[in-house]
Structure 1
Amino acid sequence: MVRAGAVGTHLRASGLDIFGDLRKMNKRQLYYQVLNFAMIVSSALMIWKGLIVLTGSESPIVVVLSGSMEPAFHRGDLLFLTNFREDPIRAGEIVVFKVEGRDIPIVHRVIKVHEKDNGDIKFLTKGDNNEVDDRGLYKEGQNWLEKKDVVGRARGFLPYVGMVTIIMNDYPKFKYALLAVMGAYVLLKRES
């Protein structure tokens, strides 16, 4: 059995006493740490917004969440998307699309395209690993998708890199444990 006082002593000795470290900082050091954190967050946001502008896609990087596109893509694959409006959608392309009433975009292949003389395009999608097309996934009464439904088109991928995202969403405790380990690493690195 371990006494509470012994745990606190052990935490301070190992560098995990975050609040003690914060209390030791003067105001200038604390402001400096807050500004550093704000710069990291704003830099990440600027990079993300820059990717949106460069790719034309509202979400230039997505994670495949299901096995419906196997063997082309597996659960956890990270997809890189573009969505340039002037590029026509063709059968065989893999698109990421949103359906009204669903929060999560879907990654499937275009299997049929209907193009009108005025340039309007309607198309039908299907997962490579699915038996039937996606009409059952579309909103009620919708039989075809339009360009406005497309978030992006797959241009490249990294296999299984997105599994970290899936694990953190499926197991929230893992996410907090990972954050704690990263925080401890930063504090220990700073002390050495």
Structure 2
Amino acid sequence: MLDVFRGTSFRHVASQGISLGLIITSALIIWKALMCFTGSESPVVVVLSGSMEPGFKRGDILFLKMGDSPISTGEIVVFHVDGRDIPIVHRVIKVHHRQESNDVDILTKGDNNWGDDRALYATGQLWLHQHHIMGRAVGYLPYLGMVTIVMTSYPYIKFLLIGVLALLVITAKD
């Protein structure tokens, strides 16, 4: 195995490293372009729980977009809660327009959940506000996000995959 590494030239390894860097840079540019196009800080999310079944299942990938129109009852939104890192995908069940401040209060619920999401919100918070909303679901791909869930649940698989890919890159012959 060591003979494989000794036999590779520096130029070949550098070329492979630059190619890998270009792939990573391209992915970041595409992500930033999607952010600009959709107006969402996270244009793609993975459904992590079964709270939206049967509509969306665990592992589905959702595509998000922020719109200029006001959020309405029945829309599926992705929101973040103060103090939590992981966004939540749920349906808007109530919208309350406050006349005095021109703000909107939003209440959500998972389709597969018994009650509304007030128990998920930050302590003392009864409504979501516009700044909590990351985007509106505009499309999805079923089950493709399971790769992300597996790699998050079992980190050694991620490192094993990175090691195999690195080995393939180093040992690849032109």
TM-score, length basis structure 2: 0.90
Does residue 30 (structure 1) correspond to residue 13 (structure 2)? The answer is: yes
Name the counterpart of 1:87. 69
Checking the alignment, whether the CA contact within 8 Å between 2:78 and 2:137 is kept in structure 1 is yes
Deviation (angstroms), 1:116: 2.8
| Alignment of 1:191 onto 2:173 | yes
What CA RMSD, in Å, does the superposition of the two structures yield over aligned residues? 1.9
Aligned to 1:122: 105
Tell whether the 8 Å contact from 2:107 to 2:117 is kept in structure 1 after alignment: yes
- 1:34 to partner: Cα distance: 2.3
Aligned to 1:50: 33
Moved more, 117-126 or 92-101: 117-126
Equivalent residue runs for 1:1-192 within 5 Å:
12=1, 17=2, 20-84=3-67, 86-117=68-99, 119-186=102-169, 190-191=172-173
CA deviation after TM superposition for structure 1 residue 184, in Å: 4.5
Where does the alignment leave 5 or more consecutive residues of structure 1 unmatched?
1-11
Task: State the TM-score, normalizing by the size of structure 1.
Answer: 0.82
Report the structure, 1 or 2, having the larger helix content.
1
Q: Is the 8 A contact 1:22 1:30 kept in 2?
A: no
SS in 2 for 1:164: helix
Deviates more, 1:52-61 or 1:26-35: 26-35
Number of residue pairs matched by the alignment: 173
Residue 176 of structure 1 and its aligned partner are, at CA, apart by 2.4
Percent identity, please: 54
How far the C-alpha of 1:186 sits from its partner, in A, is: 4.5
